[in-house]
Amino acid sequence: MDVTIYHNPRCSKSRATLALLEEKGITPKVVEYLKTPPSEQELSTILSLLGMGPKDLLRKKEAKDAGIDPALDGAALIAAMVANPQVIERPIVLTPGAARIGRPPESVLEIL
């Protein structure tokens, strides 16, 4: 199965989600999104797969620290998230046609 994880190695939930995937015998493509942020199109696709709007994927404290107004419209919020990837909730696991946030890590099992 083609599995991708948008991963932050400094985040305990992200590390736990990656370990859970590996325990299940899955070797995901690991994207360290702080180093390689998704494009606006990729983030839009991820949001669609998650069934969420941009505000739902925004880490509130980090957004405030980055000066991002959560009241921005969708396209502006996506652009701000791509420019400031630390404000994107993590980890995100993608499979063909589905996505889940690994909070808790076990929630990604629904799409495997």
* 43 token code pair: 């983030």
CA nearest to 17, candidates 95, 111, 109, 110? 109
* 11 given a catalytic annotation: yes
Query: Which amino acid is it at 86?
Result: Q
Catalytic residue, from 4, 11, 16, 98: name it: 11
* 48 token code pair: 């669609």
The phi and psi torsions of 110 (rounded to 5 degrees) equal -60, -25
Q: Are 103 and 109 in contact (CB under 8 A)?
A: no
Q: Which residues are marked as active site?
A: 11
